[in-house]
Each structure stands twice: as C-alpha cells, then as structure tokens.
Amino acid sequence: MAQTAYTPRRTHAYSVVALLACIALLEAVCHAGWVRPTTLVAPSAMLKAMIVALREPATLADFGLTLGEVVTATALASLLGILTGLFLHATPRLRRAFEPFIASYYALPLFALYPVFVVVLGVGARPIIATGVMYATMSVVVATLTGLDRVPHVFHKVARVHRLNPFKAAWRVLIPACAPEILGGIALSVGYAFVAVIASEFLLASHGVGHAIVDAYNTFQTERMYGLVLALALLVVLINGGLRRFRGRVAEGGP
C-alpha cells in the first residue's frame, strides 16, 4: 500500500533553488520600486536590519526572555502532560468522555485568559509561561496516551508479577516503555509553547520578542520589524530542525 510513499520533509536541492529564486525575485521587485519600502523591504535589507537588531543588547535580552519562557513552559507542560496522560489512561471511561474536549482544544484563543493569569500570577513572565503551559500540555497528553496504548500487554503483567504499586509501575515500566512517544510529544509541545508565548507577548505583554515586533510595527520601523521576524523565524526553524533530528534518533533507538 505504501510502497511509493515518501514524505519530502527534508530540504531537497529543488526546494533550495526555489527559495533562492523567490529571494532573487523579491530583491528585484523591491529594487525596481514596484512596492513601497514601507510595505515590503528587500531581503538584503531584512538581513541587514536583522544583524543591526541582534547587535543591540536589549533585543538579545528580549530573545533570552522569550526562550526562557518557552523552555520553562515546555518543562512544566511535560510534567503536567505525562501525569494527566497516565491518569486518563488508567480511567478509560473518563478518557473517552474527554475526547471531544481534546479535539476542540486547539481551536480556542485561550490566551484571552491572560488577564486572569495576570491577576493570579502578577505582571511579567509568569502569566505568559502559564499561557504557554496551557497550550503545550495537550500535545504531551495526547502523545502519552498514544504511547501507553502501544505498550505491550506483557509489560503490565510483568509489573503485576513484581507487585509494583501503580506509581512504581508507571515510573519503572510504563514511562520508559513509551519514552519515544512522550519525547516526540514534548518536541511538538515546544512548538505550541512558542506559539502561545509569542502570541501573548504580541497581543498583551510589554516584553519579549513578540512585543518587540509589534513595537517596530506600531512605530513604522518596517525594516526593523522584518529583521526581527526573520530572526525569530530562523530561530524557530533551527530549533525545529534539531528537535526533528532528535525525534528521528529516539524513534530509531526505541523498542
């Protein structure tokens, strides 16, 4: 059935050529003066603006802050997600009832709850981290459930033979057995944490990369805005590439 299936995920020579062609076209269009420089700036100008922006200590601090929020949110979401996954897996009836909630979870603009977090957690990084946790947790829950479903029945038997209590069984047997799926889910959750953190900074906060981009937009610094977007996009692509490699390695080494 799947003998011809392949997924062109890796960047292929053609795709690099296509990208270079697009960049060249954009550069030409901008230099020909067909678009106003307040709307679209040439790729070379974007690159220059990015380098200028990244030389400022304030911008670097913004990037550091955003990354720190993403890492913290992912760590908390992983813990919360694995625990929730284990709990839901142990209670199949509850899990089946939860399915519609899981399915519509990511359609919601949950960062509208940000004001609630601000009142509870105060101004600053903490409400943003809370929003990130909210978004990132669900993908870990789903991955943990998928992983637990794939654990062979004999593993449960072994845990019972050794008379492990449920906590020990989870820690010694179940979690290690579905580590590849869980790690895959955590890698995915980094992306969700990024989206939530950047979106909250963008719409509601007064710090971080998201806010720096809005600030550049509102003050008509178009070049700086494109430079920051480019820097952030490159960062995300880099992190995703690394995580994908990591996931591939984990999947190969898994049981």
| Residues near other proteins, by CB under 8 A | 1-12, 14-15, 17-19, 38-40, 93-94, 96-98, 100-101, 103-104, 106-110, 112-116, 119-120, 191, 194-195, 198-199, 202-204, 209-210, 213-214, 216-217, 222, 225-226, 229, 232-233, 236-237, 240
Minimal distance, residue 179 CB to other proteins, in Å = 23
Distance of closest approach, residue 217 Cβ to other proteins, in angstroms: 4
Taking the complex as a whole, the smallest distance from the CB of residue 105 to other proteins amounts, in Å, to 9
Q: Which is nearer to other proteins, 137 or 169 (CB)?
A: 137
Asked if residue 224 lies in contact with residue 216, where contact means CB atoms within 8 angstroms, the answer is yes
> Least CB distance from residue 99 to other proteins, whole Å?
8
73: helix, strand or coil? helix
Among residues 44, 49, 23, the alpha carbon closest in space to that of 227 is found at 49
Q: Give CA–CA dist 98/18, Å, rounded.
A: 44
Q: Which is nearer to other proteins, 19 or 54 (CB)?
A: 19
> CB within 8 A of 63, min separation 6: which ones?
209, 231, 235
Instruction: Determine the Cα–Cα distance for residues 134 and 110; give it in Å rounded to an integer.
Output: 8
Of 99 and 152, nearer to other proteins (C-beta) is 99
Task: Please give the torsion angle defined by the CA atoms of residues 135, 254, 155 and 138, in that order, rounded to the nearest 10 degrees.
Answer: 10
Least separation in angstroms between CB 63 and other proteins: 13
Query: What phi and psi values does residue 86 have, to the nearest 5 degrees?
Result: -60, -45
Which secondary structure element, helix H or strand E, spans residue 117, and what is its range? helix 114-121
Please say which residue, 57 or 109, places its beta carbon nearer to other proteins.
Answer: 109
Q: What are the tokens at 116?
A: 């609630």
Q: How far is the CB of 173 from other proteins (least distance, A)?
A: 28
Nearer to other proteins, 15 or 52 (CB): 15
Distance CA 239, CA 237 (A): 6
- The residue among 180 and 210 lying less far from other proteins, judged by its C-beta, is 210
